[in-house]
Structure 1
Amino acid sequence: MKSKNIIITGTSRGIGFELVHLFANQGHNVLALSRNAQPVNNLHFDNITSFSFDLSKKEDYQNVQKFITDEWEHVDVLINNAGTLLNKPFSETSFEDFKNVYTTNVFGVSELTRIVLPFMKNDGHVVNISSMGGVQGSLKFPGLAAYSSSKGAVITLTELLAEEYKESGPSFNVLALGAVQTEMLEEAFPGYKAPTSAIDMATYIANFALTGQNYYNGKLLQVSNSTP
């Protein structure tokens, strides 16, 4: 397979970190974006670029834009993987809590996609990572009002972008993940053991990101073998 230019957010740990490693081993060029760039920098791959990126900072988006313009000129795949998980009773969830969750999980996805789109061709693929908690009719859990509602917004955003760009491309799809054994899950639900490892889920996402646009556009795929 011809090497592709791939951008991934939320790469300091968990699924995002495993995705960077998988794509780099396959020979693809990876731009890894996370507030903590050091874990990826420690991989020492020539085809990985990693720098600190905060979804709430306007200048960080400008840095991404400049990198693409100067180094790549085009992007084949964008994986909006970064997310924040808040487990707190609704009565205790403040305006700032909701704002922080939506800034990362919704506004960040929207803005980075907007910045990257001019560099993507009609056969490009934008993959947004959502959650089963954001799927209408799925089992819901107390304490996840901010998180799950934000992930529902990502699903609808994906469908809208696929419609808006259906003539010109790229393709847009969203994966609603079930529970995956990551540091973020452990922090929100201490002691819970998920049935799927980060590397197993990353392997699925990597394959889908490279080929899924050949079969899907504007689609929500539920990737879960458990409840949640």
Structure 2
Amino acid sequence: MKKIVVTGTSRGIGFELVKIFAEAGHKVLALSRNQDSIKKLGLENVHFFEFDITAEEDLQKVSAFVKEEWGGLDILINNAGAIINKPFEEITSEEFEKVYRVNVFGVAALTKALLHLMNKEGHVVTVSSMGGVQGSMKFPGLSAYSSSKGAVITLTELLAEEYKETGPSFNVLALGAVQTEMLAEAFPGYKAPLQPAEMARYISDFSLTGNKFYNGKLLQVSSSTP
């Protein structure tokens, strides 16, 4: 049994991850701004509360819960994300910054808040995008989103190096097209080859075992872009 924190759990891949982990008997802390969908599941080993990854008091609340209720953490999955699809010249500074606050600064802050509760065998998995991979196909309108996803790829590599002696392990998954609401916002009308539950199964398996084989690695998980 593992103790697992997952962000962005109100829908899509994060929601499916919670179900998969809970059904396997793991303890899960599901974090998102809207908890209605998780609450309706009624799973005993799933804890949840409303959470804003950009709010310092919420970060402290998560750290306190993990320390007091679990005494430690095995896996952190940074899945929450924000997107804006707009021509670069039309994006305001506030909109650009909002994407980075969630996708980069929030990931860094939550990871930092929980690091002291993880041991060498722990695993931090960050969900990125193929759009953030250097040399991959890029798309107009996604300058804020894709560049932020590139930033967390480099952040993962740096943290793996900094903590390679003490742990935990850090890896990042660059996902291709999955049929989520975020994909629909980025590519209206496009039908992806993978459903959220399929990708969640891959991510869950990787989070449980991938740190035995990888540390500081970017894995491209894509059958279509988009």
TM-score, length-scaled by structure 1: 0.98
Read off the aligned partner of 1:111 and give its amino acid letter: A
Structure 2: distance between partners of 1:65 and 1:149:
28
Alignment correspondent of 1:32: 30
Residues 1:87 and 2:98 aligned together: no
In the alignment of these two chains, the number of paired residues is 226
Residues 1:125 and 2:120 aligned together: no
CA drift at 1:49: 0.2
SS in 2 for 1:180: coil
Alignment correspondent of 1:169: 167
Structure 2: distance between partners of 1:120 and 1:222:
26
Read off the aligned partner of 2:152 and give its amino acid letter: V
Gaps of 5+ in 2: none
Structure 2: distance between partners of 1:214 and 1:188:
34
CA RMSD of aligned residues (A): 0.7
Among candidates 97, 100, 112, match of residue 98 of structure 2: 100
Structure 2: distance between partners of 1:30 and 1:38:
16
Structure 1: distance between partners of 2:107 and 2:101:
9
SS in 2 for 1:139: coil
Gaps of 5+ in 1: none
Among candidates 154, 157, 160, match of residue 156 of structure 1: 154
CA drift at 1:37: 1.2
Structure 2: distance between partners of 1:155 and 1:130:
7
CA drift at 1:189: 2.4
Structure 1: distance between partners of 2:66 and 2:75:
12
Structure 2: distance between partners of 1:81 and 1:178:
14
1:59-103 deviation line (CA, Å, top 9, x unaligned): 101110110121001000000000012110001011001110000
Structure 2: distance between partners of 1:220 and 1:184:
21
1:180-208 deviation line (CA, Å, top 9, x unaligned): 10112123322111111100000000000
Question: Aligned runs of 1:127-206 on 2, under 5 Å?
Answer: 127-206=125-204
Alignment correspondent of 2:109: 111
1:132-174 deviation line (CA, Å, top 9, x unaligned): 0000000000000000000000000000000000000000000
Alignment correspondent of 1:211: 209
Work out whether residues 85 and 185 of structure 2, in 8 Å CA contact, stay in contact via their aligned partners in 1.
no
Read off the aligned partner of 2:53 and give its amino acid letter: L
Read off the aligned partner of 1:8 and give its amino acid letter: V
Identity of aligned residues (%): 65
Among candidates 41, 44, 50, match of residue 43 of structure 1: 41
TM-score, length-scaled by structure 2: 0.99
Work out whether residues 178 and 199 of structure 2, in 8 Å CA contact, stay in contact via their aligned partners in 1.
yes
Higher strand share: 1
Work out whether residues 142 and 186 of structure 2, in 8 Å CA contact, stay in contact via their aligned partners in 1.
no
